[in-house]
Amino acid sequence: MLPGSIQISGETLSGAEIRDICESLRENSVRLLSLRGCQLSERDFGHVCRGVAESRSLAQLNLNLGIVSNINRVKQLAEALKTNRSVQSLFLHGSPLTDAGLALLNPALSIHPSLVALDLGDCMLGDEGINLICGLLPPDGAKSGLKELTLSANPGITSKGWGRLAIAVAHSSQLRVLNLDYNPLGDQVAGMLAVAVASSRTLEVLDLEGTGLTNQSAQTLLDMVENYPTALRTLILAENNISPELQQQISDLLSEGEEEEETEAREVTSREKNPWICQNNPSSQMVLMTSGLGDSLLAETEM
């Protein structure tokens, strides 16, 4: 039987329900566990953490909206993640972690072999927390790191902290999605992020909704998209003081880049289907194109 999912939202969970969840985790029959906004006792939370530690099938763990409500729970979750090897996505949105809680959790996050997506939105983080998060975005080739990061609604982070994150993003070899919506970033931070996006080889989605930006930021981002090749495909600028015209210009340029990539991909596919390629030069020889080595390297990169 393929692993399934357990998704419960806003319920008060009984001891019997927790036992069933833990049994499913131990039997490796759960791929997604979501207890979003649920109420459970301290003892039962410990049981769930032990189940997470033992599970070899669990890929996504959603404890959003206050499940990890105190330092003791942070410690138990950290211990579980030190043992677990399968979790790829961890959602803690709306948990009162603070920098102190993240400091307890960080050692487990930094050594986890599978974690690629992390949601720390609305977790009361500050600049110290950002410094820890930057350690999860290692420089090119150093080690694997996060591919998706959400830091929405953490107003305690200052421009200094966001600048530190921008530097890490610029040098991250993995990050593809970055959600910073509903933080008071302003035009100065947006300028730093534009430089980071221009430097990144992988960042495809950047969410800056409701971050206090003006046309100044939009013009900087427009210049970046127009003049520098980037991997960026989606830039969210809603709920900012930015003219619809500038937003449309940026959207159009990003769409053009995506269309060009699709055309290139079709051309590559066509060449792969017709491996015998003859150069225009009549004196050139027929060349058989093989891609065994290239395919293996690509597979290793995508894993």
pLDDT of 42-73, one tens digit each? 999 999 999 999 999 999 999 999 999 999 99
Q: Where are the alpha helices (DSSP H) in 135-238?
A: 159-171, 186-199, 215-227
118 has which bridge partners? 90, 149
Domains and CATH numbers, the chain: 1-123 (3.80.10.10), 125-262 (3.80.10.10)
Cβ within 8 Å of residue 292, ≥6 positions away: none
Confidence bin at 141 (pLDDT 50/70/90)? low
pLDDT tens profile 184-193: 999 999 999 9
173: helix, strand or coil: coil
Confidence bin at 166 (pLDDT 50/70/90)? very high
pLDDT of residue 289: 29
**Residue 172 and residue 199: Cα distance in Å, rounded?**
9
pLDDT at 299 exceeding the cut of 70: no
Residue that wins the pLDDT comparison between 228 and 293: 228
Q: Is the dihedral of CA 65, 68, 70, 71 positive or negative?
A: negative
103 alpha-carbon distance from chain centroid: 19
**Residue 29 and residue 25: Cα distance in Å, rounded?**
6
117: helix, strand or coil: strand
Confidence bin at 173 (pLDDT 50/70/90)? confident
C-alpha distances (whole Å) from 185 to each of 15, 87, 191, 222, 244 are: 43, 31, 10, 18, 20
Q: Give the rounded percent of residues in the chain with a pLDDT score beyond 70.
A: 83
78 alpha-carbon distance from chain centroid: 19
61 has which bridge partners? 33, 90
**Residue 75 and residue 79: Cα distance in Å, rounded?**
6
Q: Give the chain's mean pLDDT.
A: 87
Place of tokens 């008071």: 184
For 5, the enclosing helix (H) or strand (E) is: strand 4-7
157: helix, strand or coil: coil
pLDDT of residue 139: 78
Place of tokens 């200052």: 158
Query: 71-83 and 98-111 helices cross at what angle (nearest 10)?
Result: 10
DSSP string, 82-114: HH-----EEE-TT---HHHHHHHHHHHHHH-SS
Average pLDDT over residues 34-43: 96
Phi, psi of 113 (to 5 degrees): -80, -15
pLDDT at 279 exceeding the cut of 50: no
**Residue 232 and residue 219: Cα distance in Å, rounded?**
16
Task: Say if residues 167 and 200 touch (Cβ distance below 8 Å).
Answer: no
pLDDT at 1 exceeding the cut of 70: no
pLDDT at 93 exceeding the cut of 80: yes
pLDDT of residue 294: 32
pLDDT at 74 exceeding the cut of 70: yes
Average pLDDT over residues 156-183: 95
Neighbour tally for 36: CB within 10 Å: 18
